[in-house]
Amino acid sequence: MDQLTRIAYKLRRDIIEMAHNSSAGHVGGDLSVIDILAVLYFDVMNVSPERVRDPDRDRFLLSKGHCAGALYCALGEKGFFDKQEALLTFGTFGTRFIGHPNTDVPGVEINSGSLGHGISVGVGMALAAKMDGRTYRTYVVLGDGEMAEGSNYEGMMAAGHYRLDNLCATVDCNRLQISGQTKNVMDSGSLADKFRDFGWNVIEVENGNNCSQLSKAYRRAGDCKGKPSAVIAYTLKGKGVSFMENQVSWHHGVMNDEQYRQAVRELSEVSLRETGAETCPKAGRFQNAPPDFFRVQSEVSLRETGAETCLKAGRFQNAPPELFRVQEELLT
Amino acid sequence: MNKVTNRQAVCDILMTAALNDRNIVVLCSDSRGSASLKPFAEQYPEQFVEVGIAEQNLVSIAAGLAACGKKVIAASPASFLSTRSYEQVKIDVAYSRTNVILLGISGGISYGALGMTHHSAQDIAALAALPDMRVYLPSDRFQTAKLMEALLRDEKPAYVRVSRSAAEDIYDENLDFELDRSHILSEGPDATIVACGEMVPYAAKAAEILKEAGIRAGVIDMYCLKPLDEKAVLKAARRSRLIATAEEHSPYGGLGSLVAQALSAHCPKKLLAIALPDGHIIAGENKEVFAHYGMDAEGIAARVKQALTGV
């Protein structure tokens, strides 16, 4: 497993944690867009928590703002704030980690959540860069259901008109929205053709959950001069959790405890399998498993059971039997 | 008679300010001519962005520019700016607190016989309801200039409505101006007329007519609708038997409503609210329309007199 995929799966586990803790969020879309966010934040964009006010930083806008949970996980992982605060307080009374991006959260550039604003705001940011002779790039991420908003097309038109090659829009094309399949709810036809007609460079990514394919697409976008670029990423809603994948009910579904455990198990299996750990577990002992595995599992399981446990790598003291059972199942 | 419109006054200030500030950026939606901003577009083409007939785009692009350090003036007919792009104003400007001045041109019933599509009789209500949005209706060109200078000095969202035709002068270059206040033009123990925008000259004339009839009426130029200068309203209410408001706006949610809210909370008083009717506005030049609805100087004076004396 490459480093970016590893990060994406770590973020998936965070998304599941956040969604389960809060019984809120848009977990299906979070899981479809997370590879895009992982690649942008950990491979492509020039952003860091130390430079949140740097005028030369790249700008990121989550136009499909309802996937704020995924954005908070990526920003937290990047170090913009204590990720645990986001995981534990998302969607709760008085939190700054509300259900749509807002600038009280470090790293969020502008408030969003009302769909169809991102491209136009991005046009403004890209125009500002041109006016000031700065080289930063502006990245906007949209959903395919969102493309029914007419304001998108005003923004696309202006970006093409002003040849904003420092602007890159990505459509997280998971083909589902809250009421069903996007093509049945409101068929927007070929998004690639629409972007092209407005003068954009279009890059289609066959597997929008494949970090390597996404990285290549963003490199091509960066190399394109004289036109804005659109990355149309064909993704899977709920990607990584079997019972959520391509299921419209998980647009903003809430997991029960059993579903949560299954999601954690599946995502951990992927991580272990992908990282190639050959592990022979005995109750309370894991050999050669990656440290991150223990961190996630212990945080999840121990908090759930309320055990006060002192964790060391590979050893659990005072952990309840259930934890070991789950772990063993995972590894056998 | 003054021939300089308030929109021209805005352009003059922007031209001067842009001399020393590269971050001033003006956006229009195919409206540079009607906004009197053509000279700016010609002199500062790199600080001017044409958005085309797309008011939603206008406001979002303005917000994006502002988020990257620009001081943006987004100019479009008040009718479209305040309602067609209301969502973008609400989210990208007010909620995101971006440094954008929304310049609503040809406000109120400026477009006269063009009809309801081009009237903006809801903008005060709509914009004032947004947290972090300030609302200004300057009266004459001198006040408009001072207002724009002041807004260019701060970094917060604001909505400014100006009319299409030239307003009569009330002040001069030496006007002492403060944001978020009002100007007391005169004081009167019988009545105080609180007016905004280009209704202020009508209110001032109404006070003169009333004086001839033996009624001493004061006038407050309430150029700042939000935050409302409540102190001035309450001071007048304690001094006058009647408070009247005069505005080129719907009777709902505008100056009359805002003043009534302040009065009822702190100093209950009889209020005469003079506004456009809640209905389709009759076609005509604004002077004709104001006369028709009893909103010109004679109409305002007659209604104040009637409210005070019953005749």
CB A111 to CB B91 under 8 A? yes
What are the residues of chain B with a beta carbon less than 8 Å away from any beta carbon of chain A?
22, 25, 46-47, 49, 51-52, 54, 56-57, 60-70, 87-88, 90-92, 95-98
Using DSSP's 3-state secondary structure scheme, residue B274 falls into: strand
* Domains recognised in chain B with CATH numbers: 6-161 (3.40.50.970), 183-309 (3.40.50.920)
CB A154 to CB B54 under 8 A? yes
CB-based contact A332:A301 (threshold 8 Å): no
CB B68 to CB A59 under 8 A? yes
| Distance from C-alpha of A35 to C-alpha of A5, rounded to nearest angstrom | 7
Candidates B29, B51, B55, B57: best to mutate against A (most CBs of A within 10 A) is B57
CB B62 to CB A124 under 8 A? yes
Looking at the DSSP assignment, which residues form a beta bridge with residue A181?
Answer: A176
CB A151 to CB B63 under 8 A? no
**Residues on chain B touching A114 (C-beta within 8 angstroms):** 87, 90-91
Query: What is the average per-residue pLDDT within B69-97?
Result: 98
* pTM of the predicted protein model: 0.91
A283: which DSSP letter?
Answer: T
Q: What is the pLDDT of residues B176-234, one digit of tens each?
A: 999 999 999 999 999 999 999 999 999 999 999 999 999 999 999 999 999 999 999 99
CB B64 to CB A110 under 8 A? yes
| Distance from C-alpha of B55 to C-alpha of B47, rounded to nearest angstrom | 19
| Distance from C-alpha of A229 to C-alpha of A196, rounded to nearest angstrom | 9
How far, CA to CA in Å, does B127 sit from each of A208, B139, B225?
41, 18, 10
Candidates B26, B90, B91: best to mutate against A (most CBs of A within 10 A) is B91
At A304, list the tokens.
């759930």
pLDDT at A297: 54
Supply the mean pLDDT for chain B: 96
Tokens 């009759």: give the residue.
Answer: B282
| Distance from C-alpha of B54 to C-alpha of A120, rounded to nearest angstrom | 11
Min distance A160 CA to chain B CA atoms (Å) = 12
B143: which DSSP letter?
Answer: H
Burial of B311 (0-12, 13-18, 19+ CB in 10 A): exposed
What is the dihedral angle through the alpha carbons of A120, A126, A127, A131, rounded to the nearest 10 degrees? 160
Query: Which pairs with CB-CB distance under 8 Å and at least 24 residues apart come from A224-228?
Result: A224/A165, A225/A165, A226/A163, A226/A165, A227/A160, A227/A163, A227/A165, A227/A199, A227/A200, A227/A201, A228/A126, A228/A159, A228/A160, A228/A163, A228/A164, A228/A165, A228/A167, A228/A168, A228/A169, A228/A199, A228/A200, A228/A201
| Distance from C-alpha of B20 to C-alpha of B47, rounded to nearest angstrom | 12
* Global ipTM: 0.96
Report the residue from B62, B69, B95 with minimal CB separation from A111.
Answer: B95
CB B47 to CB A131 under 8 A? yes
Tokens 């190639």: give the residue.
Answer: A276
CB A124 to CB B87 under 8 A? no
| Distance from C-alpha of A215 to C-alpha of A200, rounded to nearest angstrom | 19
A3-234 architecture in CATH? 3-Layer(aba) Sandwich (3.40)
**Residues on chain B touching A132 (C-beta within 8 angstroms):** 68-69
Report the residue from B51, B69, B90 with minimal CB separation from A55.
Answer: B69
**Residues on chain A touching B65 (C-beta within 8 angstroms):** 124-125, 127-128
Half-sphere exposure of A236 (CA within 13 A, CB side): 13
Query: What is the average per-residue pLDDT within B5-32?
Result: 97
CB A120 to CB B56 under 8 A? yes
CB A151 to CB B88 under 8 A? yes
| Distance from C-alpha of B189 to C-alpha of A58, rounded to nearest angstrom | 61
DSSP annotation string for B58-115: HHHHHHHHHHTT-EEEEEEEHHHHHHTTHHHIIIIIIITT-SEEEEEES-BTTTGGG-
Q: How big, in percent rounded to 5, are the helix, strand and coil portions of chain B?
A: 45, 20, 40
What are the residues of chain A with a beta carbon less than 8 Å away from any beta carbon of chain B?
55, 59, 103, 109-114, 117, 120-129, 131-132, 138, 151, 154-155, 157-158, 161
Tokens 């200004």: give the residue.
Answer: B136
Report the residue from B46, B56, B90 with minimal CB separation from A131.
Answer: B46
pLDDT at A273: 65
**Residues on chain A touching B90 (C-beta within 8 angstroms):** 114
Query: What is the average per-residue pLDDT within B117-134?
Result: 97
CB B64 to CB A126 under 8 A? yes
CB B61 to CB A59 under 8 A? no
Candidates A115, A151, A156: best to mutate against B (most CBs of B within 10 A) is A151
CB-based contact B51:B28 (threshold 8 Å): yes
A226: which DSSP letter?
Answer: S
**Residues on chain B touching A122 (C-beta within 8 angstroms):** 64
CB A121 to CB B54 under 8 A? no
Q: Where in chain A is the domain with CATH 3.40.50.970?
A: 3-234
- For residue A38, give the nearest of A65, A9, A67, A15 by alpha carbon: A9
Q: Chain A: residue nearest B67 by CA?
A: A125
CB B98 to CB A110 under 8 A? yes
Min distance B153 CA to chain A CA atoms (Å) = 20
Report the residue from A125, A158, A161 with minimal CB separation from B68.
Answer: A125
At B113, list the tokens.
């016989």
pLDDT at B2: 87
The CA radius of gyration of chain B, in Å to the nearest whole number, is 19
CB-based contact A267:A204 (threshold 8 Å): no
In the A/B pair of chains, how many CB contacts fall below 8 A? 95
pLDDT at A296: 52
| Backbone phi, psi, residue A182, to 5° | -55, -40
pLDDT at B277: 97
Min distance B51 CA to chain A CA atoms (Å) = 7
Q: Which residues of chain A have pLDDT under 70?
A: 271-332
| Distance from C-alpha of A240 to C-alpha of B16, rounded to nearest angstrom | 58
pLDDT at B173: 95
Using DSSP's 3-state secondary structure scheme, residue B273 falls into: strand
